Amino acid sequence: MRRLDQLLANLGYCSRREARDWVAAGRVTVRGEVTDDSGGKVVAGDVRVDGAPLDHPDGLLLLVHKPVGLVCTHEDREGANVYSLLPERWRRRHPTVTSVGRLDKDTSGLLLLTDQSALVHRLTSPKHKVPKVYRATLDRDLSPELVPLFASGQLLLAGESEPCAPATLAILAPRDAAVTLTEGRYHQVRRMFAATGTTVLTLHRSHFGPLELGELAPKSWRELPIDFFERQK
């Protein structure tokens, strides 16, 4: 049970003060009856606003095709962000909708967004070794020797003392590769190639754990069941 005004504010409908006005205006029903009690305790499934059930009261889990050019932080000074792709109401929710890990501004592809912080922790923890697949184009021909180097668990990134966990490198064409990582360090794919004297020209994430981006258009998203990852166990 939650306070009605708090519930509406947390789901991004309006401020708590505005919720009082919405209730006073008769816009909110609880179990089919117009309510006049904005502070009353309610079950989300019983509430309607303007006749419609509440918007995702149990949380959001979204698979987004992040385009190049958007950042994953909420900080305005970093430029346009991926949250600008979402409906206004979702951007006002508490807890805040955030990305599961990050893709850098110049990287496109599969990005998960959610308001479930426990899920963010679980999916980003190196302990859980969630595989992420990236497609990279490079500025020079790839040497086959990079395959065992990436797999070795010995590759050191500039400025770090702990080598990268073993990663899978598949050379698909002389300057085209697929890399599978089970960790997610800052700019990791770009820095792994940089450690071998190679510059990544384009980077795209195609898979995250059991999920594949598929044909989803850039800037589009689709909803996943909130218990999607529970069901995978």
| Least gap, CB of 110 to ligand URA (angstroms) | 11
| Least gap, CB of 212 to ligand URA (angstroms) | 17
| Least gap, CB of 161 to ligand URA (angstroms) | 19
Catalytic residue list contains 55: no
Bridge partner residues of 62 (DSSP): 113, 223
- Catalog residues that contact ligand URA under the rule CB under 6 A: 103-104, 107, 134, 187-190, 203
| Least gap, CB of 186 to ligand URA (angstroms) | 8
Nearer to ligand URA among residue 20 and residue 66 (C-beta)? 66
Nearer to ligand URA among residue 81 and residue 188 (C-beta)? 188
**Residue ranges with strand state E in the chain:** 2-3, 28-30, 33-34, 41-42, 47-49, 52-53, 61-66, 98-99, 107-114, 132-138, 168-173, 176-181, 200-208, 211-212, 221-223
Structural element, H or E, at residue 10: helix 4-10
Bridge partner residues of 176 (DSSP): 137, 173
- Residue 39: what are its φ and ψ, rounded to 5°? -100, 0
| Least gap, CB of 49 to ligand URA (angstroms) | 38
Cβ(62)–Cβ(224) under 8 Å? yes
Local structure of 198: helix, strand or coil: coil
Nearer to ligand URA among residue 92 and residue 187 (C-beta)? 187
**Rounded CA gap, 91 and 53, in Å?**
19
**Rounded CA gap, 188 and 194, in Å?**
10
Among the options 104, 106, 139, 176, which is catalytic? 104
Nearer to ligand URA among residue 60 and residue 179 (C-beta)? 179
DSSP 183: S
Nearer to ligand URA among residue 46 and residue 104 (C-beta)? 104
For the beta carbon of residue 84, count every other beta carbon within 10 angstroms.
10
Residues assigned a catalytic role: 104
